[in-house]
């Protein structure tokens, strides 16, 4: 038909009819597709109900843990939430988490979902390089955290704790959160960043790291390069840190000075092809190491103390352990003695179960795969989904942990071992599998070194109310002050306290 020769009103009618025909054809095709293909279509996970486009995002931004608490009882251990143009599929519980933790990088990748770290860590390291280079850089971390290295780090941790708490009076009242945060950054600076930073540049470097930290906002996950004041401070701090470490690295190389710290390990590291690390790479790796360890250790130290002071039976248990170790080893504390502190270890581990600083772990799916729930339901996870799990939620599942919201370090004892009853990924405060936290041994030693000193030299009383969780930070920590009253005393084996 020749539209050009029709009257104007007839043209409009014809065009309208053609439009209706096209729309109707598409609708029919969609219906037929769903009718004839539904039988062969693989079973996708249930989807969280929300308004189209922004509904899922609104629920997610209210708090992912709130959403998980609401949806897990209804949808089960595998479900999807639509966030604008992204689909996040959650795996909750050890029965469905095996693929998440064991899959190779070619199947489930960290790189895409953690790109927001690149402006902070800097170019050429961790999530700004391909997987093969990242694996070599992780090898540098592993070598810097070998037992022979850790033994030297423990000496520095103990020394820092003794020096810091020597400045306290015979009695007083302090904010435990403030005190432990400052001590952790001191010990981390000495063990990781080097003696030069600890002795000469601590205040400058600490302030710069504060600016870096302030640039890690929830909005940074989506818009890491947004030109806001916090990001500008972050970028300025990153540049200044690079200059500071460049001077330290050059000085060490020129003088031949060699220290027992992570900085030295990174300076001495070489890639498989023989190439040495660059100054920018060393700086980036150090920033990544400090970010991975500083917040998590300080947060866990505070929660450990708060729970011990609230639960006197467990406080008595760790004090008795210290008395027994002092009877055996005297006042000495080293790597091997810290490793004997099983009771204190369980108390720290339980604080971490209840309050893992990283509440979500993410991967990007590069391939289709299937997952089967503990009830036997099989779901198909398409390529392109973001796959997530939540330590904060999974660590409190009632079918794994008895009275999951209560503080009970004995649940990890040899007669119970609740963290192993449901499989390898029942406890995921440090992640697990291919991407388990390399710094886990360092963290436990650091917290034990601090609390063993405190338990041996002070009595404490929690003055403020038991702390609440600060959900507003990227790394979920302790809200407000944690005020404690202390009294200096010397623990003696055989004493009844």
CA atoms of 30 and 445, how far apart (whole Å): 60
CA atoms of 67 and 393, how far apart (whole Å): 10
Q: Would you say 191 is a known binding-site residue?
A: no
CA atoms of 289 and 276, how far apart (whole Å): 19
Contact 72, 393 (CB under 8 A): yes
CA atoms of 126 and 114, how far apart (whole Å): 10
Which of 398, 341, 334 lies closest to 153, judged by CA? 334
* Cα atoms found within 13 Å of the Cα of residue 411, Cβ hemisphere only: 25
Report strand pairing: 86-91 vs 386-389. Answer: parallel
Helix (H) / strand (E) containing 393? helix 391-394
Percent of the chain as helix, strand, coil, to the nearest 5: 55, 10, 35
CA atoms of 282 and 265, how far apart (whole Å): 9
DSSP 201-244: IHHHHHHHHHHHHHT--HHHHH-TT---HHHHHHHHHHHHHHHH
Contact 122, 237 (CB under 8 A): no
Which residue ranges are tagged as binding site? 437
Which residue ranges are tagged as binding site for heme? 437
């Amino acid at each position: 038909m020749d539209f050009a020769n029709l009257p104007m009103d007839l043209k409009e009618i014809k065009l309208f009819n053609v439009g209706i025909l096209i729309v109707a054809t598409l609708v029919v095709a969609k219906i037929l597709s769903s009718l004839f293909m539904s039988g062969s279509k693989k079973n996708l996970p249930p989807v969280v109900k929300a308004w189209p486009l922004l509904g899922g995002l609104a629920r997610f931004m209210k708090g992912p843990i709130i959403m998980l608490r609401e949806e897990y009882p209804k949808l089960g251990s595998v479900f999807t939430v639509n966030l604008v143009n992204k689909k996040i599929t959650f795996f909750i519980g050890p029965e469905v988490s095996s693929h998440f933790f064991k899959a190779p990088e070619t199947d489930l990748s960290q790189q895409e979902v953690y790109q927001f770290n690149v402006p902070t860590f800097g170019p050429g390291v961790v999530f700004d390089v391909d997987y093969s280079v990242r694996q070599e850089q992780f090898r540098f971390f592993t070598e810097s955290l070998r037992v022979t290295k850790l033994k030297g780090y423990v000496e520095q941790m103990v020394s820092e704790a003794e020096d810091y708490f020597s400045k306290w009076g015979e009695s007083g009242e302090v904010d435990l959160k403030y005190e432990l945060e400052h001590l952790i950054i001191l010990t981390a600076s000495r063990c990781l960043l080097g003696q030069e930073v600890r002795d000469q540049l601590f205040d400058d470097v600490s302030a710069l790291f504060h600016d870096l930290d302030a640039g890690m906002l929830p909005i940074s996950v989506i818009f890491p390069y947004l030109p806001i004041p916090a990001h500008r401070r972050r970028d300025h701090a990153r540049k200044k840190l690079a200059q500071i470490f460049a001077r330290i690295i050059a000085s060490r190389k020129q003088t031949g000075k060699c220290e027992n710290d992570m900085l030295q390990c990174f300076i001495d590291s070489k890639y498989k092809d023989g190439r040495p690390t660059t100054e920018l790479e060393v700086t980036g790796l150090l920033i990544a190491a400090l970010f991975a360890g500083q917040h998590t250790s300080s947060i866990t130290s505070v929660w450990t103390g708060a729970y011990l002071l609230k639960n006197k039976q467990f406080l008595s248990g760790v004090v008795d352990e210290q008395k027994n170790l002092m009877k055996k080893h005297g006042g000495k504390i080293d790597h091997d003695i810290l490793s004997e502190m099983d009771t204190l270890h369980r108390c720290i581990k339980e604080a971490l179960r209840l309050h893992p600083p990283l509440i979500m772990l993410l991967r990007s799916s590069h391939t289709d795969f299937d997952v089967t729930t503990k009830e036997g339901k099989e779901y198909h996870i398409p390529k392109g989904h973001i796959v997530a799990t939540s330590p904060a939620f999974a660590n409190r599942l009632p079918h794994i942990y008895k009275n999951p919201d209560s503080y009970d370090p004995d649940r990890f004892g040899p007669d119970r071992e609740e963290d192993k009853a449901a499989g390898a990924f029942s406890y995921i405060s440090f992640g697990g599998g291919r991407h388990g936290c390399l710094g886990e041994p360092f963290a436990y030693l650091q917290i034990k070194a601090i609390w063993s000193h405190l338990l041996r030299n002070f009595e404490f009383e929690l003055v403020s109310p038991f702390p609440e969780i600060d959900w507003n930070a990227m790394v979920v920590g302790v809200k407000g002050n944690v005020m404690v009253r202390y009294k200096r005393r010397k623990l003696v084996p055989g004493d009844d306290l």
